[in-house]
Amino acid sequence: MRFAALIMLAATAAFVAPAPRAQAQADARLQGAYKFTDGGWTYVHLEGTPEQIGFQHGSLLAAAIEDNVRVYQVEVLQLEKRPWSFFRDAAQTILWPHIDLEYQQELQGIADGLRAQGSTLDLWDVVALNGIIELRDYYLPALNEKQKKPNPPDAVAPGHCSAFIATGSATRDGQIVIAHSNWTSYAEGERWRMVFDIAPAAGQHFIMDGTPAVITSQDDFGVNAAGLMITETTLPMAKGFDVNGIPEFDRSRRAMQYATSIDEYAAIMRKGDNGGYANSWLIGDRKTGEIAYLELGLHHTPLLRKKDGYFVSSNFAADPELVRDDTPGFDPNNPESSPNARHLRAEEFVRAHYGQLDTELAEEYLSDHYDVYERRIDAGKRSLCGHEDTSPVGEKVWGDPPYNPGGAVTGKVMDSDLAANLSFIGRAGHPCGEDFKAAPFLAAHPQFDWEKPILHDMIAGPWTTFTADEKPPIAIATNH
C-alpha cells in the first residue's frame, strides 16, 4: 500500500508544475493560479486583476515563454531577414501606444513574472511575441513597400487554418457545432499547445487554446461565459496596415473577454481595425443558436449571419469588394491553391453530412486527407488536415517552399452543450493523429537545417476534453 501511495504521489507531481516555493509563499499575485499537463496540452488557470493574470502567466510559463521567443528569433532572421530587435522596437513604437491600459498592465505583469523567475526577457519581448503575426506579415510588408525594399517571400499574410460552424438543420441536434485546426510551422505549432482558463476581475470568464506569453488565443478558438463560441481562419494575402490602429491581439482578447453577443463581438473587432492579422471570423451565440461570418479586412468588414445552415472557412476571401481591395493578390479561381482546394473539400464534407454534424464528425472533418485537386487521399498542402512537409509543391499563396515543415498542428471542436460548461475538445498535434518526427525529416530535407535548434518532434495526443476551473487529473495507483 505504501508503494502504491508513492506511485500516486509521483504521478500526480508529474501532472502539476507548481510555482517555486519561495515565490508561492512570498507573492500573493500567484494566489489561485496553477497548471498541469493532459493529453499533450498544458492547462493554465489564471485569475484576478490584469496585473495578477499577467504575473501568474509569466511565472508559471517562464521556461516555455523563453523557448517560444527563441523560435521566433530564429525564424524572423532566416525568413524575414530582420533581427528580433526590429520586432522589439516595433512593439514599443508601433503597437504599445495603441494597446488598452488593461492589457498594457497584463503584458507588464507577464514581464514581471518572467523576471521573478530569473528570465532576462523584458516587456518588449512580450509585446513583440503578442504582435509577431501582425508585425511580420502586415506591418513589415507595408514598411518594405514604403521604403522600396524587396519583400521576403515569407513576409505575406499567412493562411493556415481549416474551420466550420453549423447550426439548425445542419447539425444532429439543431444546436451549434464549431471546429478549427491551427495551421502553422511545426516549430511554432509544437509549442502552441496551451489551454488558458482565465477568470478576470472584469468581463467574462473564458477558456481558449493558445501559445506561451500571448494574451489572446492567436489562432482564436474559445468560448466565454456569455455563450459566444469563436474561431477564425486567416484571409489570404491580405495587405494594408494602419500604424494608428489598435493591435489585433488587443481587439481579439477584448472581444473574447467582454462581448456578450455577435453584434458586440463584431463591433469590438471593427473598432480601431489596424488591418493586422486579417481574419474570417466564425462566431456562434449559444443563447440564440445564431452563427455569423465576419470577414475583417482593413477596408471592408462584411458580416453574414444565419440561424439555420453553416459557414466553412479555409483562408479564402469571399466578399468581392474585400477580394478587390483587401486581398488583391489572391486568386479565388486557382484550383491548385490550398485555400481554394480546402474550400471545395469543406463544402463537400459538410454537405455530405448535412443534418448529422456533431463533435465526432467535426473531428473527422479536421482529420480529412482528401485532395480535391488530385482527386485522391493525399495528406499534403491541400488536405483539411494539412501536412505541407509531405508536399513536393510549395504553396505560392504563403510563400512556402516545397516540403515546408508546417501544417495542421492542433484540432479543436465544440458544441452548444460543451460551450454551456465552458468546455471544448482538443487534440495536440495533427488532428488525424499522425506524428511528425524531426530527425528523419531533416535528414531527408537538409535545406531546413537552419531549423535544427527549434524543430522538435510533434507527437499527436488523444482527443481530450477541457473545462473551465478544471483541476489537475489524479493518477489511479494500482498494485501491478
In this predicted model, what pLDDT tens digit does every residue of 310-339 receive, in sequence order? 999 999 999 999 999 999 988 999 999 999
**DSSP code for 276:** T
Average pLDDT over residues 82-99: 98
**CB-CB contact of 190 with 182 (8 Å):** no
- In the beta sheet, which residues pair with residue 480? none
Estimate the crossing angle of helix 62-75 against helix 123-130, to 10 degrees: 70
Judged against a pLDDT cut of 50, whether residue 32 lies above it is answered with yes
Average pLDDT over residues 258-283: 98
Identify the band that residue 26 occupies on the pLDDT scale cut at 50, 70 and 90.
low
Q: For 117-136, what is each residue's pLDDT tens digit? A: 999 999 999 999 999 999 99
Q: Which residue has the higher pLDDT, 13 or 53?
A: 53
Per-residue model confidence (pLDDT) at position 398: 85
Per-residue model confidence (pLDDT) at position 215: 98
**Residue 439 is placed in which grid cell?**
530527425
**Residue 388 is placed in which grid cell?**
505541407
Range in 82-91, 157-166, 211-220 the model is least confident about: 157-166
Judged against a pLDDT cut of 70, whether residue 20 lies above it is answered with no
Judged against a pLDDT cut of 90, whether residue 157 lies above it is answered with no
**Topology adopted by domain 161-467:** Penicillin V Acylase; Chain A (3.60.60)
Judged against a pLDDT cut of 90, whether residue 248 lies above it is answered with yes
**DSSP code for 64:** H
Judged against a pLDDT cut of 70, whether residue 78 lies above it is answered with yes
Nearest-angstrom CA–CA distance, 249 and 253: 6
Judged against a pLDDT cut of 70, whether residue 7 lies above it is answered with no
Is 427 buried (19+), middle (13-18) or exposed (0-12) by CB count in 10 A? Answer: buried
Average pLDDT over residues 277-303: 98
Judged against a pLDDT cut of 80, whether residue 478 lies above it is answered with no
Average pLDDT over residues 164-193: 97
Per-residue model confidence (pLDDT) at position 366: 98
Nearest-angstrom CA–CA distance, 268 and 264: 6
Is 332 buried (19+), middle (13-18) or exposed (0-12) by CB count in 10 A? Answer: middle
Give the contacts of 65 (CB within 8 A, at least 6 positions apart): 58, 110, 114, 119, 121, 126, 129, 212, 213
Per-residue model confidence (pLDDT) at position 12: 38
Q: For 266-275, what is each residue's pLDDT tens digit? A: 999 999 999 9
Per-residue model confidence (pLDDT) at position 252: 98
**CB-CB contact of 107 with 99 (8 Å):** yes
Its pTM stands at 0.92
Strands 194-200 and 303-306, by their bridges, are unpaired
Nearest-angstrom CA–CA distance, 100 and 105: 9
**CB-CB contact of 139 with 241 (8 Å):** yes
Per-residue model confidence (pLDDT) at position 387: 97
Per-residue model confidence (pLDDT) at position 329: 86
Give the contacts of 84 (CB within 8 A, at least 6 positions apart): 69, 72, 73, 76, 77, 128
Q: Amino acid letter at 202?
A: A
Judged against a pLDDT cut of 80, whether residue 91 lies above it is answered with yes
Nearest-angstrom CA–CA distance, 54 and 69: 17
Judged against a pLDDT cut of 80, whether residue 73 lies above it is answered with yes
Q: What is the mean pLDDT of the chain?
A: 92
SS3 268: helix
Per-residue model confidence (pLDDT) at position 11: 39
Average pLDDT over residues 336-355: 97
Judged against a pLDDT cut of 60, whether residue 8 lies above it is answered with no
Judged against a pLDDT cut of 80, whether residue 153 lies above it is answered with no
